[in-house]
């Protein structure tokens, strides 16, 4: 059965395990999600489930999406994401309109989490690339500047040179996070460690590509 669910990052806290040790966890409001569409190899060239999350008033939906939801027979949602399914797997009875809740995962499993990192705007090289600063003494005039841009022969800046620019706001995947606890009644999943993104951001939880025991 393909495993995947959309959720909202609520923040971080800590819980205590059986031995009394504090475990830092990220709390995610996972689902409930609805299956909006099934992608098949015959029609789309690959197999996947399209999941919807976070109900949305119908007046907030444009006409193309409204027709998409009507064809599936589901209520409008804010987010649509796909969870890839291996070719040798089946959809295990997950028909269009089926609901997926947090109990799709259980404590002890390992998952991969996809999110968008916090956007930090325009940043210099010290913050963006961990460059060392220059002397802070009076008159140096070279405190947090970029430094040498490379060879003097070509008289140009080579592509890929680390410089100041936009920092954050990028899609990132954290692999191999352990599911510490699942609260199916409140649709909560607690993952050990941190996940990308600010509080309230959308995350995708799926079974890990690196199988761990």
Q: Look at residue 212 in the predicted model and tell me its pLDDT.
A: 61
Number of residues written out for the chain = 213
Element (DSSP H or E) covering residue 130: none
Tokens 């007046």 sit at which residue? 59
Q: Could you state, in order of their start, the residue ranges of all structural domains in the chain?
A: 4-120+169-207, 121-147+160-167
Band of residue 127 on the pLDDT scale cut at 50, 70, 90: very high
Q: Look at residue 106 in the predicted model and tell me its pLDDT.
A: 87
Choices 2.60.40.10, 2.40.10.10, 2.40.30.10, 3.40.50.880: CATH for 4-120+169-207: 2.40.30.10
Q: What's the token pair of residue 132?
A: 């060392």
Q: Look at residue 115 in the predicted model and tell me its pLDDT.
A: 93
Q: Which of 186, 191, 196 is nearest to 29 (CA)?
A: 186
Q: Is the pTM of this model over 0.85?
A: no
| pLDDT tens, position by position, 91-118 | 666 788 888 888 888 888 999 999 999 9
Alpha-carbon torsion, ordered 156, 161, 164, 168, to 10 deg: 150
Band of residue 86 on the pLDDT scale cut at 50, 70, 90: confident
Q: Which of 102, 96, 114, 118 is nearest to 190 (CA)?
A: 102
Find the distance separating the first CA and the last CA of the chain, reported in whole Å: 18
């Amino acid at each position: 059965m393909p495993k995947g669910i959309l959720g909202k990052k609520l923040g971080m806290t800590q819980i205590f395990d059986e031995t009394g040790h504090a475990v830092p966890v990220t709390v995610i409001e996972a689902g409930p999600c609805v299956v909006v569409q099934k992608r098949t190899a015959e029609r789309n060239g690959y197999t996947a489930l399209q999941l919807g999350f976070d109900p949305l008033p119908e007046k907030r939906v444009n006409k193309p999406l409204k027709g998409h939801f009507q064809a599936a027979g589901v209520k409008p949602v804010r987010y649509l994401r796909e969870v890839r399914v291996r070719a040798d797997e089946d959809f295990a009875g997950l028909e269009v309109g089926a609901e997926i809740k947090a109990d799709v995962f259980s404590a002890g499993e390992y998952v991969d989490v996809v999110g968008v990192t916090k956007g930090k705007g325009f940043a210099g090289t010290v913050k963006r690339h961990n460059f060392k600063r220059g002397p802070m003494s009076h008159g140096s005039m070279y405190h947090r500047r970029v430094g040498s841009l490379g060879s003097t022969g070509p008289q140009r800046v080579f592509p890929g040179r680390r410089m100041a620019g936009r920092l954050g706001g990028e899609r990132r995947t954290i692999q191999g996070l352990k599911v510490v606890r699942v609260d199916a009644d409140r649709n909560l999943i607690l993952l050990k460690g941190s996940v990308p993104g600010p509080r309230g951001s959308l995350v995708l939880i799926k079974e890990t590509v690196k199988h761990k025991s």
